Amino acid sequence: DTKVAEGGLNVTLTIRLLMHGKKGETVKKMREESGARINISEGSCPERIVTITGPTDAIFKAFSMIALKFEEDINASMTNSTVTSKPPVTLRLVVPASQCGSLIGKGGSKIKEIRESTGAQVQVAGDMLPNSTERAVTISGTPDAIIQCVKQICVVMLESPPKGATIPYRPKPASAPIIFAGGQAFTIQGQYAIPHPDLTKLHQLAMQHPPFTPLGQTTPGFPGLDATTPTSSHELTIPNDLIGCIIGRQGSKINEIRQMSGAQIKIANATEGSAERQVTITGSPANISLAQYLINAR
């Protein structure tokens, strides 16, 4: 067995299955039997963050109980199912991105060693979780393989603490689908379409100021549009840690925001010693409003 330094350890994981038993008895039992502090994030989100804190022995006992509970759920779901092969137990840890390099190791050596010695599958996500500086680490296998794997991951996390500040991942409620009909925006909730005045206003502004100018024309060629619509600039600052969310892979997201809003968006180069980047949005008031809305949504 791997020896782990004694002391407090805070490992945060995201679990897609609801862990509350009837009246929370499942979690209460885990707290009592493991001796670990187990907190579950609030909110009606598809994902909940489960934070387990305590001495290493208590943490492994809690993980053991979670993995066995998941296997129990898998067995129960297979009782009346036609599925013949049993799926593995899967957990998703949430790990600060600054610690993921140590977990992967040079040329993938550490993660390979963990896979081979425990028999668990371990995958480190390439992208950070939305609006955070954390990455998802997915572990799957038998309950025993998962427990051994968590032990080794905890060793790495103790030996290589996070560098700099960590922006924690916070799950957001599932966003309701949006439809546009008759010039109005509606969010779909169950079987009802609920009017959404803020989105309606943005949608109408965007329609009044189309983003594309036909070649050879200085103003958009749409009837009824005042060619003298004033343009202005708006500046905002975005933390360096979040700028990747706005830019996207090879600039895909920022280009999408430019096209949808019709605004010009310039992101200043990183300045040494500064934790923020300057973003300048230029266009009509409607273009700027829509660009700001889309950036905030990202």
Q: Is 219 a domain residue?
A: no
* pLDDT at residue 75 greater than cutoff 70: yes
**Same-domain status, 24 and 148:** yes
**What b-and-e string marks burial along 167-197, b requiring 16 or more CB atoms within 10 Å of the CB?**
bebebeeeeeeeeeeeeebbeeeeeebeebe
Domain stops at, among 126, 159, 192 = 159
Give pLDDT tens digits for 20-51: 344 466 788 889 999 888 888 776 666 778 88
The two tokens of residue 38 are: 């187990």
pLDDT recorded at residue 149: 93
**Same-domain status, 20 and 101:** yes
Q: Is 209 a domain residue?
A: no
* pLDDT at residue 108 greater than cutoff 90: yes
Q: Is 279 a domain residue?
A: yes
226 pLDDT band, cuts 50/70/90, is very low
Q: Is 180 helix (H, G, I), strand (E, B) or coil?
A: strand
Q: Is 172 a domain residue?
A: no
Q: Domain range holding 241?
A: 230-297
**Same-domain status, 133 and 42:** yes
**Same-domain status, 133 and 248:** no
* pLDDT at residue 18 greater than cutoff 50: no
pLDDT recorded at residue 23: 47
Q: Does 87 or 174 have the greater pLDDT score?
A: 87
The stretch 103-112 carries a mean pLDDT of 94
Domain stops at, among 127, 159, 191 = 159
Q: Are 20 and 26 in contact (CB under 8 A)?
A: yes
* pLDDT at residue 209 greater than cutoff 70: no
* pLDDT at residue 172 greater than cutoff 60: yes
Q: Is 166 a domain residue?
A: no
102 pLDDT band, cuts 50/70/90, is very high
Look at the chain and report how many structural domains it folds into: 2
* pLDDT at residue 191 greater than cutoff 50: yes
Domain stops at, among 129, 159, 189 = 159
**Same-domain status, 146 and 280:** no
Q: Is 175 a domain residue?
A: no
* pLDDT at residue 79 greater than cutoff 90: no
Q: Is 67 a domain residue?
A: yes
Give pLDDT tens digits for 192-207: 566 666 666 665 665 5
Q: What is the CATH number of the domain that holds 107?
A: 3.30.310.210
pLDDT recorded at residue 290: 80
**Same-domain status, 38 and 135:** yes
Cα gap 232→249, rounded to integer Å? 28
Q: Is 202 a domain residue?
A: no
